Chains A and B, each alone.
Chain A
């Protein structure tokens, strides 16, 4: 079944600065929506407002025309991966998979390096491995939409390719909103890309050279 997430008229003021001025964005099942913008443009704030854990001046977030007042209480509808590790550091990969109702064997199949870390606390894993688990659990969990904030940062080129493959597979089941400073990868997997500048979003077509980092 196809679902549509629409966030519109989002306004956010921080101090005297109006960060978002009537921002709109749309996401659908089966599509990866990229979001690009410079540092401080408001990409993370926009995601957090959609998720509902950042208060703002004005917001309207709907899924299939149903208004979401507190989306963060409905993980079956939307999940959010922040740009930092959010998993308690004493948990093991096995336990994390159990919490998210995922099969550890599948994690092992996608990322064989976890075979030897099944019962190891994630605080003892490398930064890249922790990031991989963050991305995996959010991407694979059952949800209508997921938002990923800078998933490619801290990953090796091989890991990035695996994540891209996984996301392209997962878009069959959900809508994906993704932002990162590594633009090339966003362009590679996105079906449409928005640029956030001066508080507003605009649909953007792929430039001739998109590897530049903002």
Chain B
């Protein structure tokens, strides 16, 4: 399978929880803007916790859709590791940008 097709499938999977994830990351960025570095550790743990909840929710309520990706040769572990990795990277990027923009 071509790389572009794999990326397209990974994006489709990521879209299933992107909005919730963006909401959490934005809330964290807003809190960081307000309270600064002392709250960083709490925000990271909060983000990881919500990622865990997302994983559990999708596995429970959208588990049928995993057969779609399996039938295209994409394993569950690849789906999760790539999308959660990208999601965490976006979260960190958002925090860095917020840090740089703080007065």
Contacts and interface: CB of A to CB of B under 8 A. Distances in A.
B75 A73 contact: yes
A87 B5 CA distance: 16
B15 A72 contact: no
Nearest to A86: B67
How many A residues are at the interface, by size bracket? 20 to 34
B72 to A, nearest CB: 6
A123 to B, nearest CB: 12
Contacts of A84: 64
A88 B68 contact: yes
A197 B70 CA distance: 29
Interface string B54-97: 00000000001111101111010000000000000000000000
A99 B65 contact: no
Q: Which secondary structure dominates chain A's binding surface?
A: loop
Interface of A: 53, 72-76, 79-82, 84-88, 90-91, 99-100, 137-138, 141
A141 B8 CA distance: 19
A53 B63 CA distance: 12
Given A91-B12, A99-B9, A86 B65 contact: yes
Nearest to B5: A99
B70 A87 contact: no
Nearest to A143: B71
B15 A75 contact: no
A73 B73 contact: yes
Contacts of A72: 70, 75
Contacts of B75: 72-73
Contacts of B73: 73-76
Given A88-B68, A99-B9, 14 more contacts: A75-B71, A80-B67, A86-B64, A86-B66, A86-B67, A86-B68, A88-B12, A88-B65, A90-B12, A91-B12, A99-B5, A99-B72, A100-B71, A100-B72
A82 B64 contact: yes
Nearest to A137: B71
